[in-house]
Structure formats: C-alpha cells, structure tokens
C-alpha cells in the first residue's frame, strides 16, 4: 500500500483523437492525413458526470479538486468529476449496493484486487485504446507488462503516477557521528556498514541507522521473487532466494544497540521515528513521497535506492497508481478520455514541476522537471527519486495479500529473534497456503 502524502504513486500515453491531443495514431511522423483521420473518428461525446473513487485514501477532496478535478474540468467542460473519498475497505460494495458504483477507481496495483476485482468491476479497455489510437509506447515497458499480466493480455487501467523509490536521510545525524552521506549507487552492503556506525546511544537517545518498510520491500523486491504463483494459487517461500532477501534486510534491525521493539516493526512508527523524533539516520519507505510539512526543519536529502552488487542500477519493482475504468460505467468513452489526459505529459508536466507527484510515463522531460518549482526540492538530489531501472514486475493475483501478510509476520519474527530464517519462511509458506485453500473452498 502506499501512502502520499505520496503517491504514491503511471503509464504514459497520448490520446490521438480530438478532443484529446492528437498524435497521429502512434506514428513518429503522422502528417496531416493521419491527424485528419483521427479527428474524423472522434465521437461527439455527451456531457457526463464521472465518479472517481480514491481507493488508497491518499487524496483528500481539496487535493483532488486542485490536482485532478479542476484541470480535468477545464480541459473537458463536458466532464464533471465527482470525488468519493476512501472511508473503509467496503466502500466500493456500499456504492454498488446504493446503485452508485464508481466510473473510475484510482489506486495502486497493490490494491487492485481489494478495490476493483473482488467486486468484478474490471473492464478490458483494449478496444478503447484501439478506438482512440492510444500510444502505448509512451509507457514504461515493465509497467505495461505488469498490466498485461494482471488482465491476461488485456489492459484494465491506465497508470498515471509512480510511487517514489528513494532513500531519505537526515544529514544532521551523519554529521553528528562523522559518517559520510549515502551516494547514488550505494549497495546494501555499503548501507549496512553506515548503519552500524550510526546506530548508537548518545545523550540518553537511541539513534538507529536505517529503517525500511519490510511490507513494501517484500512486495516490490529487487529479485522479482513471486509472493504467489498465480497459476497454482500457491506460495513458495522455502528457497535460497527468499532466504537471501530476508538475511539482507533483517541484518539492519539486529545491529548492536538497535534495540528493536515490537512497536518498531510498524511502518507507521518507523515513519514517525524518522519524521517526528528524528532519531533515524536513513529511512527507506520504498513507496512514499514526503511533504514539505513533514520534512520542515530537517537537514535532509535523498539517495538512490540501494542495489545488490550483482544487480547494479536495478531498483525495486514499479508501484504505479492507476486509473481503473469500471465495467459498470455508463460513460466509458468519457472516462477513457479523462484517464488518457491524466496519463499524459500535457497534464502532468505542471504537477511534476510543483513536486506534487512523480510520473509513471517513460519521459525524460518529466523526470528532469520533477520539483523544479517546489522550494522543498531546491538543491536536493531529485534524480534519485526513481531508480535507474525497475526490477521486472511479478504477477498480481487474488491471493497475493495473503502471501504477503504471512511473509511480513515471518520477517518480523526473524528480526525480533523469535524464529530463524528457515523456520520462519517454512511456517509462512504453510500458513499462507492453508489460508488460500480456505478461501478457495468458500
């Protein structure tokens, strides 16, 4: 799950028909004839109210109106966006029961089953992509592959925003203990050596070298290890690759003087230790973009996501925020029109410059423009907000969350000293498969 104050948060594209920006059907040199053809094929769309449901809880109404609803209405006067905030896990069911299902659900790929597919709201937008000559070449290829895996070759939604994958660090703690700052390209081993030097007691305060969100690191692991075999609906954790993953991450929580507690296995408490207490030197949330208010007064910067020595430049798997078109929408053309605009460079450039979100588009322009107009990013290493290269995305299945929950429990047992790695992984596999079988038998 991601949180933004992020977003956390996707595919690129240009819609090649009016009233969207024309791109000549994906041609590199479209010319007048292709442009005219695209215009002729554009349907005359009637006015429509589109219900947007925030499936992640990252978008308060004011933020939605400012960053999405307002620009969308200005671009397309015939579209009236209606925002429905996240309130609870059953909100979508409540909307369906009330006869008011959403037209568009926006949420991360990690939430697509719980917010869309468990209600059978998914809809293959491939015909709309073809109808409007949508340019899929603008997207990150690894994200496109992820989307096709999810939809068995189809496409259920358009990614627009990408969750950041960066290492935040507090310069004052590094300066206090005379340790050199992290650098882009640092390996996990190098960060571990830093963490050992930065974890200590001083003046009655316990300082810790690094916290990492284990649940997101599991989901987006750099080895592209499956948390679930979606073909068999079985979890398989008892192998050397998962052991290597565990051993790498667990060591940061077990350095001398770290004093890990059960409470500090919580991502919320880890975040608070870095943001509020400011006793953590490095924070790897994996999928969070912090706000100026959170970092106010901190002497901070970012470095690239740590890499494995045998995988230089490879960051975590992508974690896009996607606009998913629902099967029940009565205004699929208008909804696709809106989605395509939100996933375009035309729309995103201004917001990216303001540092409001990172783009999921494969665009050097957007990457280089991030934070240009945001005071909080002045002088910061903003190129480190996204990795040089994403790891290959693993398939998303209905029971991934069950597998991930059991993996996280087993990881916490390891770092708390309750289980050894091999035992924890074996028990996690058994527990996950038992729960999945219970769900399948219902």
Is residue 82 classed as helix, strand or coil in its secondary structure? strand
Give dist(CA 23, CA 28) in Å, integer.
9
Q: How many Å apart are CA 190 and CA 192, to the nearest integer?
A: 5
Residues 302-356 have pLDDT tens digits of 999 999 999 999 999 999 999 999 999 999 999 999 999 999 999 999 999 999 9
Domains 24-163+319-382 and 166-315+399-440 share a fold: yes
CATH fourth-level superfamily of 166-315+399-440: Periplasmic binding protein-like II (3.40.190.10)
pLDDT digits (tens, 9 = 90+) for 278-310: 999 999 999 999 999 999 999 999 999 999 999
CATH superfamily of 24-163+319-382: Periplasmic binding protein-like II (3.40.190.10)
Q: Where are the domains of the chain?
A: 24-163+319-382, 166-315+399-440
Picking from 371, 428, 420, 339, the residue whose alpha carbon sits closest to that of residue 157 is: 339
What CA–CA distances, in Å, run from 41 to 19, 24, 133, 339?
A: 11, 12, 10, 19
Q: With a threshold of 0.85, does the pTM exceed it?
A: yes
Structure token digits, residue 440: 């399948």
Burial 47-57 (b: 16+ CB within 10 A, else e): ebebbbbbbbb
In the prediction, which pLDDT does 43 show?
Answer: 60
Low-confidence residues in the chain, pLDDT < 70 = 1-43
Q: Who's near 400: CB < 8 A, 6+ residues apart?
A: 113, 219, 227, 228, 230
The strand ranges marked E within 243-299 are 280-284
Strand ranges in 224-314 using DSSP code E only, listed in sequence order: 280-284, 300-304
């Amino acid at each position: 799950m991601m949180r933004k104050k992020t977003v956390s948060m996707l595919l690129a594209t240009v819609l090649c028909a009016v009233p969207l920006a024309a791109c000549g059907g994906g041609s590199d040199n479209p010319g007048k004839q292709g442009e005219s053809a695209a215009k002729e094929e554009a349907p005359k769309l009637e006015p429509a109210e589109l219900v947007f449901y925030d499936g992640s809880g990252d978008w308060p109404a004011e933020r939605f109106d400012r960053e999405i609803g307002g620009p969308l209405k200005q671009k397309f006067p015939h579209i009236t966006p209606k925002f429905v905030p996240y309130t609870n896990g059953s909100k979508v069911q409540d909307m369906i029961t009330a006869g008011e299902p959403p037209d568009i659900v926006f949420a991360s790929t990690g939430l697509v089953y719980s917010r869309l597919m468990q209600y059978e709201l998914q809809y293959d937008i491939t015909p709309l992509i073809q109808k409007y000559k949508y340019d899929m070449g603008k997207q990150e290829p690894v994200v496109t592959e992820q989307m096709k895996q999810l939809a068995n070759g189809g496409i259920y939604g358009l990614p627009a925003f990408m969750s950041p994958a960066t290492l935040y660090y507090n310069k004052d703690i590094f300066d206090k203990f005379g340790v050199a700052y992290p650098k882009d390209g640092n390996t996990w081993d190098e960060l571990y050596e830093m963490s050992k030097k930065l974890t200590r007691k001083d003046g009655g305060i316990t300082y810790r070298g690094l916290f990492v969100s284990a649940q997101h690191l599991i989901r987006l692991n750099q080895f592209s290890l499956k948390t679930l075999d979606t073909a068999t609906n079985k979890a398989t954790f008892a192998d050397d690759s998962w052991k290597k993953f565990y051993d790498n991450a667990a060591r940061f929580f077990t350095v001398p003087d770290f004093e890990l507690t059960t409470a500090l296995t919580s991502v919320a408490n880890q975040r608070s230790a870095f943001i509020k207490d400011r006793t953590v030197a490095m924070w790897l949330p994996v999928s969070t973009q912090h706000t100026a208010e959170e970092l106010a007064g901190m002497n901070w910067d970012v470095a690239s996501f740590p890499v494995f020595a045998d995988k230089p430049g490879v960051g975590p798997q992508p974690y896009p925020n996607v606009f998913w078109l629902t099967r029940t929408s009565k205004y699929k053309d208008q909804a696709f029109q809106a989605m395509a605009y939100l996933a375009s460079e035309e729309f995103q450039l201004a917001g990216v410059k303001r540092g409001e979100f990172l783009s999921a588009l494969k665009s050097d322009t957007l990457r280089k423009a991030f934070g240009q107009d945001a005071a909080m990013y002045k002088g910061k290493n903003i190129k480190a907000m996204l990795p040089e290269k994403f790891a290959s995305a693993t398939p998303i299945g209905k029971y991934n969350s069950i597998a991930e929950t059991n993996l996280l429990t087993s990881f916490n047992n390891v770092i708390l000293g309750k289980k050894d790695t091999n035992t924890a992984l074996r028990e996690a596999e058994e527990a996950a498969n038992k729960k999945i079988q219970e769900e399948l038998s219902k």
